[in-house]
Amino acid sequence: MVEVLKPPAGWVERAEGLGLSFAPGDVERLGVYLSLLLDANTRMNLTAIRDTEEAWDKHIYDALTLVPVLAGVSADGGQPPSVIDVGSGGGIPGLVLACVMPGVRFTLLDATGKKCAFLRETADRLGLSNVAVAHDRAERAGAHPGGPHRAEHDAVVSRAVGRMAMLLELTVPLAKVGGLVVLTKGQKAEEELGEAKRALHMLHAAHAGTVNTETGRVVVIEKLRQTPRAYPRSDGEPKRAPLGLGRS
């Protein structure tokens, strides 16, 4: 029997302050997810946070700060919006968002097989029919030609994967033209944006706004035109030589 972890006093009210309206069972499902995450973390490296109360704040609440941005995302032809979480790891923010946004299709992308196995098992145990897991590198998922996720998603999310100049090359190619890339960043968000100005230009994307939250900053990027065919470059190259910084 999986333990259902309860949020700290006042947590639900704080989360609802973001504009959320939890459906019956949502908070309990999040508690089950957190229990499964912390248990699996004893066997593999999924999170540095082990304290339950801290995890409710820095993992669950932090992921939910993306909901107001994603709530405005729509898809063509009346289809459910499609969101891909790049470097999903233990499922933050993708699995958390899937728990409270059942009308959105989520793809959780990660390059590590053990993490993908955890994501699949956890989505199944939570009864999340709106989740698919992709075991792949972002460079291959968004490659031209043949990348299975290139220009396929209405929004791309990512958290704690790397500095923006590198991360944009991995995320922007996955979004449809007019779609959003939504990045959870820390206090150095403005510094990283300045550093990534040339990368945004090279990828045909633009900074659409930054939302300050209790736990960080949500940086929103809009994809203006099709990504040039040269991007993303081959495995490891975006990290080794980020776009616009030195040789690229």
- Write down the pLDDT at residue 77: 81
Percent of the chain predicted with pLDDT > 90: 87
Of 64, 232, 204, 27, residue with least CA distance to 142:
232
Give the pLDDT band (50/70/90) at residue 3.
Answer: confident
- Write down the pLDDT at residue 104: 97
In single-letter form, the type of residue at position 33 comes to: Y
Residues 40-48 have a mean pLDDT of 88
Q: What is the DSSP string of 114-161?
A: HHHHHHHHHHHHTT-TTEEEEES-HHHHT-TTT-TTTT-EEEEEEESS
- Write down the pLDDT at residue 162: 86
Is the pTM for the entire model greater than 0.85? yes
Of 173, 193, 190, residue with least CA distance to 233:
173
Give the pLDDT band (50/70/90) at residue 225.
Answer: very high
In single-letter form, the type of residue at position 119 comes to: L
CB 134 within 8 A of CB 141: yes
Residues 156-178 have a mean pLDDT of 94
CB 88 within 8 A of CB 120: no
- Write down the pLDDT at residue 248: 44
Give the pLDDT band (50/70/90) at residue 245.
Answer: confident
How does pLDDT run across 137-157, given as a tens digit for each residue? Answer: 999 999 999 999 999 999 999
Res. 247: pLDDT tops 70: no
Q: Where are the domains of the chain?
A: 74-240
In single-letter form, the type of residue at position 84 comes to: I
How does pLDDT run across 73-115, given as a tens digit for each residue? Answer: 998 888 999 999 999 999 999 999 999 999 999 999 999 999 9
Res. 29: pLDDT tops 50: yes
Helix, strand, coil percentages for the chain (3-state, nearest 5): 40, 20, 45
Structure tokens at 235: 């495995």
CATH 3.30.300.30 fits 74-240, yes or no: no
CB 99 within 8 A of CB 64: no
> Rounded to 5 degrees, what are φ and ψ at 245?
-115, 100
